[in-house]
Amino acid sequence: NKSQLIILDRGFDPISPFLHELTFQAMAYDLLSAASGKIDAVKNTYTFDSNREGSLDDNTRKEIILDASNEVWNELRHDHISTVLHRLNEKTAALMTKYANLRGNKDTPTNVHDMKSMINKMPKYKREEANLNSFVKLAEDCMTAYNSGTVETAVKLEQDMSTGFDSNGRPIGERFM
């Protein structure tokens, strides 16, 4: 509840600071920190309930750190949310292909060395899969908050006002005449 004073010079774009930013990081911090408390902006963490089908513990609380140490977050945080969803799908498909033999979709190990190698890769696969699933959940939460009605409407209105045209290319002044 603190006031903020923004001082801009004439060469600065005065409209952009008042528009919602639709990058992954901005949406996560804007939409999920205040309302739902899922993002802790001080600790840079995202907390969520992990509901895994077939799991003994149906509702497990998970937390991921959102900083440069997390490779996926570092790679996706400045991307537009629509790009993030697409890239997460690509990363998940690549991971599934990479570790398909661990799920029994490819050749089964024929000797002890291959079996040992496969077992050694499993923890890394599980960590990568859990990390990707966490970011899929974060992106889903962002889109749920965005599609709740008020944010989507505000973004459309902001875009119309900042460009002077609506999404159909008509000047916004014509709508009110």
The tens-digit pLDDT sequence of the chain (177 residues) is 788 888 877 677 777 777 889 999 999 998 898 767 899 989 999 999 876 554 445 568 899 999 999 999 999 999 999 999 999 999 998 888 888 766 554 555 566 766 667 667 778 888 898 899 999 999 999 999 999 878 888 898 888 888 888 888 888 875 554
| Secondary structure string (H, E, C) spanning the chain | CCCCCCCCCCCCCCCHHHCCCCEHHHHHHHHHCCCCCCEECCCCEEEEEECCCCCCCCCEEEEEECCCCCHHHHHHCCCEHHHHHHHHHHHHHHHHHHCHHHHCCCCCCCCHHHHHHHHHHHHHHHHHHHHHHHHHHHHHHHHHHHCCCHHHHHHHHHHHHHHCECCCCCEHHHHCC
